[in-house]
A and B are shown apart, each in its own frame.
Chain A
Amino acid sequence: MKILIIAEAQGSEVRHASRSAITLAKNVVAAENGDIEIAIIGDDIAAAAKAASAYAPTFTLSDALFSHPTADRYGAAIAQIAQQRGADLVIAASTSHGKDCVARAAAALGGTMVTDATACENRDGKLIWQRTMHAGGVAAWVAAHGSPVVVTALQSAYEPAEPTGETSVTALNIDVVALPSAIQFDSVTTKQSDRPDVTEAAIVISGGRAFKTAEDYERLIGGLADKIGGGTGSSRAAVDAGIAPNENQVGQTGKIIAPDLYLGIGISGAVQHLAGMKNSKIIAAINTDDEAPLLDYADFALIADAYEAIPEMMEKL
């Protein structure tokens, strides 16, 4: 089986989520054999490609046209690379980029795609995939018919792979000017934060509707996170209310995470929220309501007012 990983560059590194995709690829090799290759597309990716080659032989498609991830151009490029490399299995990370561009590539490759895979298994000589549905309420094993199979790896289900030693970097030959280009990138507003991303942080301090203002959220949730080197998360209700930034949303339709510690403060625990964090190693909750559903999914709970408990925690840590 020929496995092609579509990796994302993050500066001079391989993005964390892509390293989780590499782990999924290694699990496939363990279950059924195969060779792993990595492809990186972008502008100015030499350093990231070198970093990627420490995991598996790496192929690059580098051009100024790829400075922004427009889905039509990227999707067509990914499909062409998969065909050129003769991939039987294409694996990408379940990031917004993966969902946007790789799904489009999957359609060009015949439409066999498994989103957010959490496990794979060789059953009677055929590779099958596990994924969750219905807001994490159901785990399903699915068979993928057709070739290549395109899979996105749910980041929280796989530890990021560790490098194993430098291999080769090879430039791909694709006519980039001929790729579709009907989507125009205008601008991006990226968040300005020194905190670890919510999908990568070992500790996530998460705040919900209990916080009255964005200032309170930043001072208390942000402050506690900074105190212990954690990332910040939030419920959708807090994002909707303008209290927490978009990128922080944890849940079925936000980020799905599994940190070592998830501390949910002033979050009730709606099913859509639980879908994003219930596989965290340790879950703790602070809530004024002893009957908040989140408590049923937590290891520890403190019944207290967030506005009093958080300053006290910051002082004692």
Chain B
Amino acid sequence: MKILVPTKRVPDPDQPIHLNADKTAADLSGIPCIINPFDAIALEEALRIREEERSQAGSDIEIVAVCIGPQACEKEIRIALAMGADRAVHVVSDEYIDSWVASSLLKAVVDKEQPDLIIMGKQAIDADNNQAGQFLAHHLNWPQATFASEISFEGDRVKVARETDTGIENVSMTLPAVITTDLRLNEPRYASLPAMMKAKRKPVDISTPEDLGVAVEPRVEIISMETLSAKRNCVRVNNVDELIAKLKEAGAL
């Protein structure tokens, strides 16, 4: 079985966001980046599936990480390989990639790689779009299970518990399929230093959107951005009586 895990590079969410001069994008220069946390969860799940030897025919499981983005993504690719991916595909592009383009590029990679399962984040924590997985499932005409909090295998079927607004929904699908991860699926491991060294020797297949025959034509264009601060002037109250009085005065109770 082959599992494909898209891993996107995103700015560290603990760092303040600065915008570029014309305020159309985040200025990532000097900002530390990480693997999108939901993608790290996806990779961890793939590793656990392999470790638990739940491959369908008892065959080996190969895990391929796919990253779309500039040269600088090399660092996050290395981390994915150190966590345990067998190899990586890096689609190198400095252009602005929206969820549509990302899903189209991933489709082209899937056509080449022919995986049985794709596990990816439900959303990237920079753009927060929550689209690429669903788009990709449509492109491939594969079943999808979004917002997974539990994945298990039963014969040739994959069973997924999904987190929805109203509770946990259980679905099952035959492979190939697309699964997107929610936070509670697992806690990703860290890449150890020796593993980071060893990851240098793992293969990375480098291509460009042109090589894949995909036109970079984003559907959603960012016109302008502004950073927001929602800070308020906080009044410290001394006791419960005062709190209740203030809330009543403000019409909130």
**Would B166 and A71 count as touching, CB distance under 8 A?**
no
Does B247 have its Cβ within 8 Å of any Cβ on chain A? yes
Which one of A97, A139, A281, A284 has the greatest number of beta carbons of chain B within 10 Å? A284
Stretch of A40-48, A213-221, A299-307 with 4 or more beta carbons under 8 angstroms from chain B: A299-307
Nearest residue (CB) in A for B124 is A133
- How many residues of B are counted as interface, with CB atoms below 8 angstroms from the partner's CB atoms? 85
**Would A189 and B168 count as touching, CB distance under 8 A?**
yes
How far apart are the CA atoms of A290 and B162 in the complex, in Å?
Answer: 38
Q: A96-B147, A252-B125, A283-B232 in contact; A182/B244 too (CB < 8 A)?
A: no
Point out the residues of chain A lying under 8 angstroms from B17, CB to CB. Answer: 134, 137-138
Which one of B126, B184, B230 has the greatest number of beta carbons of chain A within 10 Å? B230
Residues 160-206 (chain B) with a chain A CB within 8 angstroms: 162-174, 177, 182-184
**Would B169 and A188 count as touching, CB distance under 8 A?**
yes
Does A29 have its Cβ within 8 Å of any Cβ on chain B? no
Point out the residues of chain B lying under 8 angstroms from A115, CB to CB. Answer: 128-131
Q: A71-B144, A113-B220, A282-B252 in contact; A187/B165 too (CB < 8 A)?
A: no
Stretch of B45-53, B76-84, B207-215, B233-241 with 4 or more beta carbons under 8 angstroms from chain A: B233-241
**Would A112 and B219 count as touching, CB distance under 8 A?**
yes
How far apart are the CA atoms of A284 and B234 in the complex, in Å?
Answer: 9
Give the number of A-B contacts (CB < 8 Å): 260
How far apart are the CA atoms of A190 and B227 in the complex, in Å?
Answer: 38
How far apart are the CA atoms of A282 and B52 in the complex, in Å?
Answer: 49
Which one of A186, A199, A255 has the greatest number of beta carbons of chain B within 10 Å? A186
Minimum C-beta distance from B125 to chain A (A): 7
Minimum C-beta distance from B42 to chain A (A): 14
Q: A96-B163, A99-B130, A301-B235 in contact; A134/B13 too (CB < 8 A)?
A: yes
Does B137 have its Cβ within 8 Å of any Cβ on chain A? yes
Point out the residues of chain B lying under 8 angstroms from A97, CB to CB. Answer: 164-165
> Residues of A at under 8 Å CB distance from B?
70-72, 75, 95-97, 99-100, 103-104, 106-108, 110-116, 123, 128, 132-146, 180, 182-191, 197, 199, 203, 228, 236, 239-240, 246-247, 252-253, 255, 260-261, 271-272, 274, 278-279, 281-286, 290, 295-304, 309, 312-313, 316-317
> Residues of B at under 8 Å CB distance from A?
11, 13-14, 16-17, 19, 26, 38, 99-100, 103-104, 122-123, 125-131, 134-135, 137-139, 141-147, 149, 159, 162-174, 177, 182-184, 217-228, 230-244, 246-247, 250-253
Chain A to chain B contacts (Cβ below 8 Å), 6 pairs: A103-B135, A113-B131, A134-B11, A138-B226, A297-B234, A301-B234
